[in-house]
Amino acid sequence: MPRTSVSTRTSHRSNSKGRKPLSLIFKDIFKESGRVITYVYTDADGDMVFHTSVGKLHYSLIIVCFLSSVAFFAATAYRMMTDAGGVIMLAAFGSTSLAVGIFYIMLFRSMRYILEKDGIRLPGSVRLLWWGLQDFIPYSSVMRFYESREVTRAVGFSFDQVWIDFRDGHGRKDGAGLSPKNKQLFISELTKRTGIPISLGPYADE
């Protein structure tokens, strides 16, 4: 089992169990993306923090964004030298591709799942991918969890996930697919904290 490191970083969490405003979500992303990544660590409050795993598809999308921005900027420079039109449009496309690529990197650098004493904290960067998902899942509300490659509600940057079925604040069934770095350690900790063994699938316990 990989050793977890102890961090003196403070937790950036909402005081309520509700939903953060969009402005605080972006503030959280910018603040966390500038930190040095430790994939699994224990923070100053004793909570275990797992950064998201990043799949090959998402790395490929970032490469595409940067290559397309280079191509657009090169076309812009060529048209400027040859006095051709379309310079502003090409420059705009290049800037947009570059901005998307940079924001994508910031997003997955800041994305993490926090195993607190009473539940799983999903910071703003997680919820930005699935707007409406509550930012705190109490362990007592967890119904089951299992390994999955579900793509319709992947709250992370990998299809290799831990799917969690739970009851929301209104008692309705909900679910989310988390893709933590070191998935097996995450599953082990989740089993300890919920008292529920991992399931074989969505209907295995029914």
Each residue's pLDDT expressed in tens, for the chain with a length of 206 residues: 444 443 434 334 444 444 555 555 555 555 554 454 557 888 878 889 898 887 777 778 778 888 888 888 888 887 777 766 677 887 888 888 888 888 877 777 778 889 999 999 887 666 566 666 778 899 999 999 999 877 666 667 788 889 999 998 888 888 888 889 889 999 999 999 999 988 866 655 55
Same domain, 82 and 11: no
For 95, the domain range is 56-106
Q: Is residue 128 a contact partner of residue 201, using CB atoms and an 8 Å limit?
A: no
Does a structural domain hold residue 97?
yes
Same domain, 115 and 35: yes
Q: Give the separation between CA 187 and CA 169, rounded to whole angstroms.
A: 23
Same domain, 131 and 47: yes
DSSP letter at 141 equals: G
Same domain, 86 and 127: no
Does a structural domain hold residue 129?
yes
Same domain, 88 and 154: no
